[in-house]
Amino acid sequence: AMAAAAASVRPYRVLFVGAGLATGAAVAALRASRAAVDITVVDKARGCGGRLATRRATAMDDGGGGVASVDLGLQYVTRGAGSSDLAGVYDDLTAAGVLTTLRGAIRHQQAAQKELLNYVAPAGASSIVKHLLAGADGADGDGRGDGSVALRVQYGRRVAAVNAVPAAGGGDRKVWRAECGGAAGVDGEFDAVVLTAPAPQVLELRGGVADAIADDAALAAGAASVSFSSRYALGLFFGADDAAARAAVEAAMPQPLCAWYVGADEDDVVRFLAVDNAKRGMGGGGGG
């Protein structure tokens, strides 16, 4: 009876593969649920963010007291009309100052987007995921939960296989175990595994996940049909005293413009331009 009681209060163990926005939002939802959950997040990169990539020029001031940075992935966030399920996440991000309202104008922005609420991350897009995963490496002690959620985030771990194995104690119950391709591994067994990596990366996994996908013809066909087009991002920084650079930027994108969707009739290669200091509502200092 005592063993059964102990098992009933054991936290539900969840492994997230990928430390991008989808994982951050899911972790925030689990925290808000106040469920007893033990979460481990792993990512092959050196930090979180995924496609919310931000690069920093550590020797340059951004004009707001921080380090100059430029977003190479997500440029801004549009709050859709049907995003009521994420209201709590938006409220948290705006209350903490991680997201602020986008004030600048965007040339050639879709009319539908203009009617919705657009946000920008003053500290860079990657700060959104950093905030959602704050309080990692131990019990949730950042004031945004009730202490029932334990969270660990581990970087530099490339998951190569995910397998279902018999749970300790016998019976038919299965748990999940992840195998990594490098020296660093993922410790522990999990009740659930959530894969937030892009479909082509998921298809590279071996083990039980690969078998499950192969057994579902529709899922396998759908995953295999996903393709990505190439995008190359270039970030340029200039100092506060670089008058020539500032003049060139102002001539190309006079305020209140902060970004520009470039049409195929305007340039053969470039598709988007942004002045991140202007986009974030910052003046002075260096920019990108």
pLDDT tens string 147-170? 578 999 999 999 999 998 888 777
Percent of the chain, pLDDT > 90? 54
Confidence bin at 4 (pLDDT 50/70/90):
very low
CATH of domain 9-48+133-228: 3.50.50.60
pLDDT of 146 higher than 70: no
Q: What's the mean per-residue pLDDT of the chain?
A: 86
pLDDT the model gives residue 60: 77
**Which CATH number applies to 49-125+234-288: 3.90.660.10, 3.20.20.70, 3.30.70.1450, 3.40.50.10470?**
3.90.660.10
pLDDT the model gives residue 6: 45
Please state which of the ranges 2-11, 57-66, 181-190 shows the lowest mean pLDDT.
Answer: 2-11
The bridge status of strand 159-166 relative to strand 174-180 is: antiparallel
pLDDT the model gives residue 67: 80
Give Dmax (Cα) for the chain: 77
pLDDT the model gives residue 173: 86
Please state which of the ranges 9-18, 183-192, 197-206, 208-217 shows the lowest mean pLDDT.
Answer: 183-192
pLDDT digits (tens, 9 = 90+) for 232-266: 999 999 887 888 988 988 888 888 999 999 999 99
The segment(s) of the chain belonging to CATH 3.50.50.60 are: 9-48+133-228
- In the chain, what is the straight-line distance between the N-terminal and C-terminal CA atoms, in Å? 63
Q: How far apart are CA 24 and CA 174, in angstroms?
A: 26
pLDDT of 26 higher than 90: yes
Please state which of the ranges 118-122, 165-169, 191-195 shows the lowest mean pLDDT.
Answer: 165-169
pLDDT the model gives residue 168: 79
Report the pLDDT averaged over residues 123-134. Answer: 94
Q: Cite the DSSP H helix spans in the chain.
A: 2-8, 21-33, 87-95, 111-114, 126-132, 199-202, 208-215, 217-225, 243-252, 276-279
Sign (positive or negative) of CA dihedral 11, 137, 197, 112: positive
Q: Under a CB-based contact definition with an 8 Å cutoff, are residues 69 and 142 in contact?
A: no
pLDDT of 8 higher than 80: no
pLDDT digits (tens, 9 = 90+) for 63-86: 666 788 999 999 999 988 776 778
36: its two tokens: 């007893």
Q: Under a CB-based contact definition with an 8 Å cutoff, are residues 282 and 122 in contact?
A: yes
Report the pLDDT averaged over residues 38-44. Answer: 94
pLDDT the model gives residue 137: 54
pLDDT the model gives residue 151: 92
Q: How far apart are CA 247 and CA 252, in angstroms?
A: 9
pTM: predicted TM-score of the whole model, two decimal places: 0.84
pLDDT of 141 higher than 60: no
Query: Which 8-state DSSP code applies to residue 33?
Result: H
